[in-house]
Amino acid sequence: MIATQVARENRGSLTEGRTPEELREIVQHVGAELELAPAEDIIEWAYATFGERFCLTSSMGDAVLAHLAAKVAPGVDVVFLDTGYHFAETIGTRDAVAATMDVNVITIQPRQSVEEQDAELGPELFRRDPDRCCALRKVEPLRTSLDGYDAWATGLRRAETRNRVIAPVIGWDAKKQKVKVSPIARWSDDDVDRYVEENGVLVNPLAYDGYPSIGCWPCTRRVAPGEDPRSGRWAGTNKTECGIHM
Ligand code: SF4
């Protein structure tokens, strides 16, 4: 089943969206204003402004963003991209979030299953051409699934990689023609750990087993203490991002 079908079945009818010009104007007006706001305020603003045309995305490394949203935007859509290559622990975290939190978890999938992709392009595309594999299994399905939204929130943080140090809290995603909201962009690793501890937030068990950054199993390895937390992603290659945030 393709991503948009899954998303639409779960969400029912949608209200009309704003034009890209209108959305860009919103970014220009409130972007700087919300730059230093608490994460809850940022999500609350986005939900009030965009309503059902606002969603979160989560890779289920932890449930911090979903936990924040459940407080100020109960019932909000949380889009989870099931690449077909997730660890069982990641799927389990998704199921636990769906069962215990006041958010609407929507699972989207690539156009082709792993088996269909293998039949057409050969097995283990992730080894031969990880950029293409990510494009097919992450970037394209997410872009399609966001069709019915004007704004999307991510758990992206500036502390994660060099590519993310200038990520705005409220930005214009020119490729997707949508407002991109990063409520915890300013949070450090310690801020995340503190929020998890103080609020008993669900965390993917792999995070306590040497995986500080969790993606698809073929492209994620354990990280030794003191190593760059992102060094376990696409290890041994120059690749550092899947393309969703570029
Ligand atoms: S992270 Fe690896 S397995 Fe997952 S979509 Fe990208 S290349 Fe494919």
- pLDDT beyond 80 at 239: no
Mutate to test the pocket of ligand 1, among 60, 87, 132, 133 (most ligand atoms within 8 A of CB): 133
**Which atom of ligand 1 is closest in space to residue 233's alpha carbon?**
1
Residue 97: which of 204, 213, 20, 207 has the closest Cα? 204
Torsion angle of the four alpha carbons 84, 87, 93, 94, in this order, in degrees rounded to the nearest 10: 0
Could you tell me if residue 238 is inside a domain? no
Show the ligand 1 pocket: residues with CB < 6 angstroms: 83, 85, 126, 130, 133-134, 137-138, 215-216, 218-219, 242
Ligand 1 centroid to residue 239 C-alpha, Å: 11
Q: Which residue has the higher pLDDT, 176 or 240?
A: 176
Could you tell me if residue 223 is inside a domain? yes
Is 133 within any annotated ligand binding site? Answer: yes
CATH of the domain at 54: 3.40.50.620
Residue 100 is part of which domain span? 3-232
How far CA 110 is from CA of 57, 85, 107, 141, 145, in Å, comes to: 15, 11, 10, 5, 10
pLDDT score recorded for residue 8: 37
Average pLDDT over the chain, rounded to an integer: 90
pLDDT band (50, 70, 90) for residue 246: low
- Claim: this prediction has a pTM higher than 0.85: yes
pLDDT score recorded for residue 12: 41
pLDDT digits 0-9 by tens, 154-212: 999 998 766 667 789 999 999 999 999 999 999 999 999 999 999 999 999 999 999 98
Instruction: Decide: 242 and 223 in contact? Cβ < 8 Å.
Output: no
- pLDDT beyond 90 at 234: no
pLDDT band (50, 70, 90) for residue 14: low
Could you tell me if residue 243 is inside a domain? no
- Which residue numbers are catalytic? 242
Could you tell me if residue 154 is inside a domain? yes
Give me the sheet containing 178-181, strands edge to edge: 104-108, 77-81, 54-57, 151-153, 178-181, 170-173
- The CA-based angle 145-80-226, given to 5 degrees, is 130
Is residue 22 packed enough to be buried (19+ CB in 10 Å), middle (13-18) or exposed (0-12)? Answer: exposed
- pLDDT beyond 90 at 113: yes
Could you tell me if residue 239 is inside a domain? no
Whole-angstrom distance, CA of residue 241 vs CA of residue 164: 10
pLDDT band (50, 70, 90) for residue 1: very low
Instruction: Domain count for the chain, please give it.
Output: 1
pLDDT score recorded for residue 7: 41
Could you tell me if residue 240 is inside a domain? no
Any idea what DSSP says for residue 160? Answer: T
In this prediction, residues 120-138 reach a mean pLDDT of 95
**Bridge partners for 204 per DSSP:** none
Could you tell me if residue 237 is inside a domain? no
